[in-house]
Amino acid sequence: MKNLTGMLMVLLMLSFFSNQVLSQTRNRADIADKYKWDLSNLYSSEEAYQKAKEETVKKFDGILKYKGKLTKSPALLLEGLDYHYGIFKEMMRLSSYAGKKSDLDTRDSKYLAMRQEIDQLFTQYNSKSSFIDPEILTMDKKKMDKFLAKEPKLDVYKFYLNDLLRSKEHLLSEKEEKIVAEAGLISGSAGSIYGIFKNADMPYPTVKLSNGDDVLIDQAGYGRYRATDNREDRKIVFEAFFRKFNDFRRTFGTEMDGNVKSHIFYSNVRNYTNTLERALDANNIPTAVYHSLIENVNKNLASFHRYLDIKRRMMGLDQLYYFDLYAPAVKGIDAEYDYDKAQKMILTALKPLGKEYVSVIKEAFDNRWIDVYPTPGKRSGAYSSGSAYDVHPYILLNYNNLYNDVSTLAHELGHTMQSYLSNKTQPFQNAMYPIFVAEVASTLNEILLFNDVYNKTTDDDVKLSLLMEYLDGVKGTLFRQTQFAEFELRMHEMAEKGEQITGDSMSDLYRSIVRAYYGHDKGVCIVPDYIDVEWAYIPHFYYNYYVYQYSTSFTASTALAEGILNKDAGAVDKYINFLSAGGSK
C-alpha cells in the first residue's frame, strides 16, 4: 500500500600518545550504558526478535483469503485492512530493531544480513498484498462513501481511502502491482551499497595538524576538525577528506546512477511526467512548491552573500574560502558543550512547550532512548526513528561536544516528540505523519534552543558567536538544503533526458551549482575544486527528493516559534495538536 511502503523509504575525544592517531570514535565497551540505546524495549533479545519475525511471516498468506472479497461488504473491507495493517505494524517494529542493530556497526555482516532479510520480507509481503489497492479502486467514490457510512469502524481508514482515489490514475492492475512490488528487491540496492561503503569500508585519510597530532579524518573527524580555529588545519582537513571521496568518485557515481534509475523506473511505470512529480505526489504537494523554492532562494542569493561577507569580516579574512564556513566567527570562545550540559540546556530551552513535552524529553534522556557517541563502524550523522508504533522513539547521534551537536540533539528530539505524540494519540493507521511536515518540529526546537541560550548570555563575544551559529543554521537549513534540492532536481533531469550519471558528470554539475550559490565567480566565497565531489558525501540524495522539505519546514517553524515565544493565545496548544495529528489530516 503506497502510503506505508513509502514510509520505509538523521564529543568525547580519546587521548593517545602523540605518535598515535587521534580519533573521535571510542570503543563501545568503554561507554557507560546510560549513553547507549536500550533496544530491549523493541525485543528482549535477538531470540525474541527471531521468534516474532517467524510468527509474522506465518501470517503473510492469510492476506490472500481477502483477495476478491474487499469490495463485497464494509465488514470484509474492514477485516481485510485490519489484518493488513496488523502485519505492517509488526514488520515496522522488526525493521526498526534490525536497522538499529546494523547502524551500531555497519561492518558487522550479521546485522547487515538481518536488515537485508527484513527488506526482502517486506517485498515478499508487498507482492502478496499487491491486490489490495487495485481491488479497492474498482469501487467508485459513491460506493466507498456508502461503505464508510455503513461501517463506522472504517473511519480510521477514511484518509487512506480518499487519498487512494486521488491517485487512482497512477495505480496499476493487480498483476502489474505485483511486479512493481517484486522490484523492491533491487530498487534500494544503490543506497544500501552507498551506506555500507561510506560508513564501513571506505579508507579515510590521516593528517598531521599544526600541533603535531595525527588525526583520522573519517566522518566524525571531519565533523570535528572542519571547525578548528587554525585555518591551515581546516584547509588540510577539507582537502584530505574530499580528495579521498574523489578517489572513489566513479564508485559513488555508479551508485548514484542506480539510485536515480530506480526513481525513473517507478516514475515511468506509474505514469508520472517525471520523477519530481511522482516524489511529491505521495504527499499531494504541487511541483510548483519545489520550483518556487529554488527560484526564490536564487533570487535572494544577495542576502546569503551578505551573510558570507559578514562572516569573512568577523573572521578577519581578506578572502573567505569554503573551508572557513564551519569555523567560529568569534575567536577565543569556549565552544565545548559536554553531553550532560547539553541535556540541561535543552530541558530549559523547551519549557515554553509545556511540562508534558519537557517530561517526555527527560524520559528520553534518562531511559536510554539515545545512542550518543561515535563508535567504530557506527552509522554517521543523526536521526530519530519512531516507526515502532508500540515503543518509544529512538535517536542516533554522533556527539562531538560542539554547539552544533547540542542543536542537532534538540533537532532530533523534535522528531522524537512528533513521533511520540502521534503514536500516543493516533491509531497505527494514521500515526505516521507526512514527510512534508516532518522537519517543522525539529527546526522549531533548534529555534527555541538558540533563543534561550542567546537571551541568557551577557558576554558580547558569546552573543556574536551565537548569532553567527544561528545564521550558520539558516545557511545550512535554507540555502544549503535548497542548493542540494536544485542539484537533485538537475541530476534527475539529466538522467530523464538520457544523459549519463557518472562521478565526473555529477562533480561537474555540483561545481556549477555550489559556486553559483556561494558567489565564487564574484569573489564572495572561493570554492576549491576538491569540493566538486561533496555530493558524494551527502546521504540524503538517496532519499528521493527529501531535502527541499528542510527549507520549507524551516519557514513554517520560524513562524510557529514566533507565536510560541510571543505567548500568543493558544499557540502552544495548536502546536501540540499539530504534532499529535500524525497522518490523520
Nearest to 387 by CA among 359, 345, 365, 415: 415
Residue 394 is part of which domain span? Answer: 243-585
Cell numbers linked to 240: 584530505
Asked whether residue 127 is assigned to any structural domain, the reply reads yes
Residues 405 and 537 in one domain: yes
Instruction: List Cβ neighbours of 471 (8 Å cut-off, separation of 6 or more).
Output: 307, 310, 311
- Could you list the active site residues? 412
User: Whole-angstrom Cα distance, residue 266 to residue 287?
Assistant: 17
Q: How many domains does the chain have?
A: 2
Cβ–Cβ < 8 Å for 408, 382: yes
Final residue of a structural domain among 187, 210, 227: 187
Q: HEC profile for 442-506?
A: HHHHHHHHHHHHHHCCCCHHHHHHHHHHHHHHHHHHHHHHHHHHHHHHHHHHHHHCCCCCCHHHH
Instruction: Please state the pTM of the whole predicted model.
Output: 0.78
214 lies in some domain? no
Burial class of residue 565, CB neighbours in 10 A (0-12, 13-18, 19+): middle
Residues 488 and 407 in one domain: yes
Q: Assess whether 278 and 345 both reside in one domain.
A: yes
CATH of the domain at 114: 1.20.140.70
CA 566, distance to chain mean position in Å, is: 30
> Over the stretch 217-241, which tens digit does the pLDDT of each residue have?
999 899 989 999 999 999 999 999 9
Q: Is residue 545 part of a domain?
A: yes
pLDDT digits (tens, 9 = 90+) for 430-453: 999 988 898 899 999 999 999 999
Whether 282 is covered by a domain: the verdict is yes
Q: Is residue 346 part of a domain?
A: yes
Residues 358 and 479 in one domain: yes
**pLDDT in the model for residue 25:** 72
Say yes or no: 165 and 277 in one domain: no
314 plus 437 within the same structural domain:
yes
452 and 562 part of one domain: yes
10 Å Cβ neighbour count for 148? 18
Same domain flag for 411 and 545 = yes
Domain ends where: 141, 160, 187? 187
Whether residue 291 sits in one domain with residue 162: no
CATH number of the domain within which 392 lies? 1.10.1370.20
Same domain, 256 and 134: no
Q: Within a domain: residue 334? A: yes
Residues 580 and 516 in one domain: yes
pLDDT tens for the 585 residues of the chain, in order: 544 434 433 222 222 223 333 336 788 999 999 999 999 999 999 999 999 999 999 999 999 999 999 999 999 999 999 999 999 999 999 999 999 999 999 999 999 999 999 999 999 999 999 999 999 999 999 999 999 999 999 999 999 999 899 888 888 888 888 888 888 888 889 999 999 999 889 999 999 999 999 999 999 899 989 999 999 999 999 999 999 999 999 999 999 999 999 999 999 999 999 999 999 998 899 999 999 999 999 999 999 999 999 999 999 999 999 999 999 888 756 568 999 999 999 999 999 999 999 999 999 999 999 999 999 999 988 999 999 999 999 999 999 888 889 999 999 999 999 999 999 999 999 999 988 898 899 999 999 999 999 999 888 888 888 888 889 889 998 999 999 999 999 999 999 999 999 999 999 999 999 999 999 999 999 999 999 999 999 999 999 999 999 999 988 999 999 999 999 999 999 999 999 999 998
Closest CA to 381 of 413, 409, 419: 409
Residue 410 CB contacts under 8 Å (≥ 6 apart), including other chains: 346, 349, 350, 445, 446, 448, 449
- In one-letter notation, the amino acid at residue 108 is D
Which residue type, as a one-letter code, is found at position 267? S
Q: What is the pLDDT of residue 245?
A: 98
E strands along 255-401, which residues? Answer: 370-371, 383-385, 394-396
Last residue of a domain, one of 163, 187, 211: 187
pLDDT value, residue 188: 86
Torsions phi, psi for 22 (to 5 deg): -90, 130
Structural domain contains residue 401: yes
Residue 56: inside a domain: yes
Residue 11: per-residue pLDDT: 26
d(CA 570, CA 23): 48
State the CB neighbour count (10 A cutoff) for residue 168: 13
Q: Are residues 164 and 68 in the same domain?
A: yes
